[in-house]
Amino acid sequence: MSRFSAAPALAGALSIGLAAPPALAAAGGAVVLPWGDWIVGFVTTAQAVLTPLLVALATGPIARFAPLLGYVLSKSVVEGMVRRVTDYALNAVAGAAKGQVLTVPVGSAVIAAAAVQRASDQVPGFVVKAAGGLPGIAEKVFRRLALEDRATAANTLAPALAAAGLAAR
């Protein structure tokens, strides 16, 4: 059984690759080596090998964090929408003002106006779906409002959902 030695094979390959063809020999006996072509060939080969590796290294973390990024973006869009429809409803309902503690009937009217009227009329469907539908928006507005102490989900949120024709979750 013979053993293969890499050293003679490597030395042979290098001597073949480094030997200048007769056409490159100058008249004075000097040998012109095309080292610029070798560099270009090496860089081209390195680029062909390294580009897929770098793309894989870059897309791996993106694929890993894309769901998290999607969640953060959708959550921020939903929170912004809830803030805007709540501000609208506070301005649209008589007896309500931003920064004011709302009574139960006024709080219910604000929730119904924000969750149903403004959200269903103005908010794109995918944002409403991401918020949990119109009942989900109503719950988020309920949590956002400054309501009097006796206000609960049963006496404030449920009547607002009923007035809007939505079932409580």
HEC string of the chain equals CCCCCHHHHHHHHHHHHHCCCHHHECCCCCECCCHHHHHHHHHHHHHHHHHHHHHHHHHHHHHHHHHHHHHHHHHHHHHHHHHHHHHHHHHHCCCCCCCCCECHHHHHHHHHHHHHHHHHHHCCHHHHHHCCHHHHHHHHHHHHCCECCCCCHHHHHHHHHHHCCCCCC
Domain locations along the chain: 35-163
Q: What's the pLDDT band for 35 if we cut at 50, 70, 90? A: confident
- pLDDT given for residue 71 in this prediction: 86
Residue 98: the pLDDT is: 86
For the cut 70, the answer to whether the pLDDT of residue 21 exceeds it is no
Condensed to tens digits (0 to 9), the pLDDT of residues 73-130 reads 889 999 999 999 999 999 888 888 888 899 999 999 999 887 778 888 889 988 999 9
